[in-house]
Structures are given as C-alpha cells and as structure tokens.
Amino acid sequence: MLETLVGWDKELMILLNNLGTETFDPFWRFITKQFNWLPFYVVLLYVTYRKVALKKLILILVFLAALITFTDQMTNLVKYTVARPRPCNTEDIMGMLRIVRCSDTLSFFSGHASNSTATMLFMFLILRRYYKYAYIIFVFPLIFAYSRIYLSLHFPGDILVGMCAGSLFGFLFYRLFKFVEVKFSDRFV
C-alpha cells in the first residue's frame, strides 16, 4: 500500500514538474521565497488592523508567531523522523525531472505548505466575519506550495500532507485564540 502511494506520488511529481518551462523558472523562483510575499503580509495586516482593535491585533500577531514556530518545529520533527529525500535527490526519478533548484535537506512534509496553510487558515477564520471574500487568501498557500513542486523540491504528497497538517494546526491555534479572546474579552476590545 505505502509503496503504491509512493509510486503514484513520484508519477504525479514527474507530470506536474514537467509542465514547467525555462520561461517561467524565474517567476517560480521568486514565488517560493517567503520574503517576496512581504507586501501581501503587509496588506493582510492592514486589512486586519482596519477591523480589530490594536490590542486584539497584537494578540493575533502573538498567536501567529507561536503558530509559525509550532508548525515549523512539528514539520522538522516529522522530516527528521521520516527522512525522505527531496525529489531532486531521489535517484530513480532525478533524470525525469526538470531540476530548477535543489537542496540537501529533507522533503516530507513541506514546511512551506504547512506554515502557509496554517497561517492563512488562522487568518481566514478571524477575517471571515469582516470580509465576504476572505477565502481569497487561500490562493497564497496554493501558489506558494505549487512552487515547491515546480522547482523539484517537494513531492505532491509532501505538499498535501503539509497542507493537512497546516490546516489542523491553524484550526487548533484559532480555537486557542478564541478561548483566550473570550476569557480575557475585557482586555481586547
């Protein structure tokens, strides 16, 4: 069963990775860097600030920092436990991939996918009551995660599991945030 899933994961990786062309390589290299998303984060912070009190915004930022730290550490724990090499370092498929970028670090599961999904789900759950189209922020983790497949740094399964883990962590941190917000509501108005 596991061998079958890994086989399908490799086949899908080859298919998705080979959809790329040299023309788009610079675009996907740009997309995959967290720093390049800074304008998006600033806009997201601004639209949040417009709807919540400053004290609540600070609480949100504290929870986001804790969420990113937790998600990153859980991702690393799994990566070092599973020890799956990245597609660009997987001998039986290396020759069939467009290796745009490579790394010696481990692959399963994707930290980019887990962190971006966790933070965007957390923010969506906060912003959905204020903005009708808050779900638009999910475009970010989808594009961000696909960049990892395009560059040959993660298998689709790494992305899928990373997004599932990120969804779980984002939801749990949101529930904890709501508990704190309600428990200390007089302080965050």
pLDDT of residue 187: 66
> Phi and psi for 53 in degrees, rounded to 5?
-70, 155
Contacts of 76 (CB under 8 A, 6+ apart): 111
How many angstroms separate the CA atoms of 124 and 131, rounded? 9
Q: Kindly state the tokens that stand for 17.
A: 């990775």
pLDDT of residue 188: 57
Residue ranges for the chain with pLDDT beneath 70:
187-189
- Evaluate whether 164 touches 108 at the Cβ level (below 8 Å): no
pLDDT of residue 11: 94
Q: What is the CA radius of gyration of the chain?
A: 18
> Phi and psi for 64 in degrees, rounded to 5?
-60, -45
